[in-house]
Chain A
Amino acid sequence: MTSKIQELLSECSARIIGSEEARKGTHYIEVNPAYICEIAEVMHNKLGFRFITISGVDARKHIELIYSFADDKSGDVVSIKTKLFNKKDPAIDSLSKLIKGASWIEREVHEFFGVKFAGHQDLNHLLLGEDWPEGDYPYRHEND
């Protein structure tokens, strides 16, 4: 475990529910969705991690969002996991003000999983057509 990740763990220890190093260089840290902006700010602005993407997962009972960050010096990938249990109306704070590149990524997650990103300027369709039916989220398992 590199010093950067140790620093992250100690800095945000109050916010972290659990963490593991699944493989060498691949870390998973679970946090409460309310603190995602705080953690992203520490990682992006303070520790110099590069934001990769958000992977949404429909885990049947809840929706899981996995925010992946990379440290290009050591080659580590740190994935911050959050679980949204309100499947009817999942919502989480937006990172787009903090990281401009997150804007499109959040739009993509919004249209595939219906997650609302509070504070996002423009949550229009990115990949699907404008005439795509409202409330139909193709990556949700209800559609299967």
Chain B
Amino acid sequence: MQSIDNKFTKSLFVFHAACSPCNNCDIEILDCIAPKYDIERLGMQLVGSPRHADVLLVTGAVNKKVVHRIKMIYEQTAKPCVVVAVGSCACSEIIFRESYNTCGPLDKIIPVDIYIPGCPPRPEAIIAGLAKYIKSRKNAG
């Protein structure tokens, strides 16, 4: 395990999967790569395919139409893969818990490693969440 843990301490390839979000978390994730926050300077990069990803950022309260697809995306990622629930909807579904069309928070569907709450979490919070994870891996390794 030690060697795998070490892999996650350098440049992370991030895939962003939107599962019925309201868009805000997604904008803030894109804001992370825009000039002001620029996570690419930390070696993180958004990639176009889940097969290239080390990290899966999932936003939104997963609905019944999306639930199979997010499972598929998770299966396609190369393991080990870090799953991050970005935003309160992915963490706990907040107000959409009562809806007839949602399927429970993300951790009921796929295993989640990091929770970044907030509605929406600020770009700083997203970066801090990932940085904390990297730090914990470093300490573990």
Contact = CB atoms under 8 A, between A and B. Distances in A.
Interface of A: 128-129, 132, 138, 143
B65 A129 contact: yes
Provide the main secondary structure of the chain B interface.
Answer: loop
B26 to A, nearest CB: 20
Nearest to B101: A128
Interface residues of B, number: 4
Nearest to B66: A129
Interface string B59-103: 000001100000000000000000000000000000000001100
Provide the main secondary structure of the chain A interface.
Answer: loop
A132 B64 CA distance: 9
B67 to A, nearest CB: 9
Nearest to A130: B65
Interface of B: 64-65, 100-101
Contacts of B100: 138, 143
- Residue picked from A129, A132, A138, most chain B C-beta under 10 Å: A129
Contacts of A143: 100
A114 to B, nearest CB: 15
A138 B65 CA distance: 15
A21 to B, nearest CB: 36
Contacts of A138: 100-101
A116 to B, nearest CB: 22
Contacts of A128: 64-65, 101
A138 B64 CA distance: 14
Contacts of B65: 128-129
A71 B64 CA distance: 38
A138 B102 CA distance: 13
A130 to B, nearest CB: 9
Nearest to A136: B100
Contacts of A132: 64
Given A128-B101, A143-B100, 7 more contacts: A128-B64, A128-B65, A129-B64, A129-B65, A132-B64, A138-B100, A138-B101
